[in-house]
Amino acid sequence: MTPALQSVFAAIDAANATDPDTSEGGPAALIYGERMTRQLDRIVPEASDVLRIAARGQHVERWLLPRSEYPEGRAGYLAWRKEQGRRHAERVAGMMAEAGYDAESVARVGVLLRKEGIKRDAEVQALEDVICITFLQWYFAPFSGKHTADALLTIVQRTARKMSDEGRARVLREFDLPDAFAAAFRDQGAG
């Protein structure tokens, strides 16, 4: 790991260490960033510094913009998520500039964190696959208790749609999913 990458990771981790949500035994955003890094290292071991930084900074200071500040429903959620992507990109870009990354790398991390070019840009797609696998591994079970079976199926179908064929195949290999959920990952590859 280069000194610049270490510096950015340290800055992201320091920011996320102040997350007031400690329901998982430590700051939630810090734990999430570490989980994202572990998944990326496993799935894309040759990842660029920019992709590594985007994975670690995916939820940097996410709690500063609560979901409750946006209307209920899908439109409110999408607006909140878009603003989070913009904020995360801006915050991480500043950390990268301070660590000495060039303007091109700083701009590129913004593309990844705002998910610009999903399905067209290999790094954006790799980040999305890591996000989805991290969600399924650590966050889906607690999340599922808050939603109806129909709502969960819709969420799983949307998750599968965002993933690459390779990412969906990985999910089918690595997770023991109920038949309806597994079908969502299989059917996306067939369509």
Judge whether 112 and 74 are in contact, CB under 8 Å. no
Mean pLDDT computed over 128-156: 87
Mean pLDDT computed over 82-91: 95
Within this chain, do residues 155 and 101 fall inside the same structural domain, yes or no? no
Q: What is the pLDDT of residues 54-64, one digit of tens each?
A: 999 999 999 99
- Average pLDDT along the chain: 92
Q: Which residues contact 12 (CB under 8 A, 6 or more apart)?
A: 33, 53, 56, 57, 60, 92, 95
pLDDT band of residue 106 (cuts 50, 70, 90) is very high
* pLDDT of 144 higher than 80: no
Question: Using CA atoms, how far apart are residues 36 and 51, in angstroms rounded to an integer?
Answer: 11
Within this chain, do residues 36 and 102 fall inside the same structural domain, yes or no? yes
* Domain count of the fold of the chain: 2
Within this chain, do residues 39 and 104 fall inside the same structural domain, yes or no? yes
Boundary of a domain, candidates 79, 114, 149: 114
pLDDT band of residue 189 (cuts 50, 70, 90) is low
pTM (predicted TM-score):
0.91
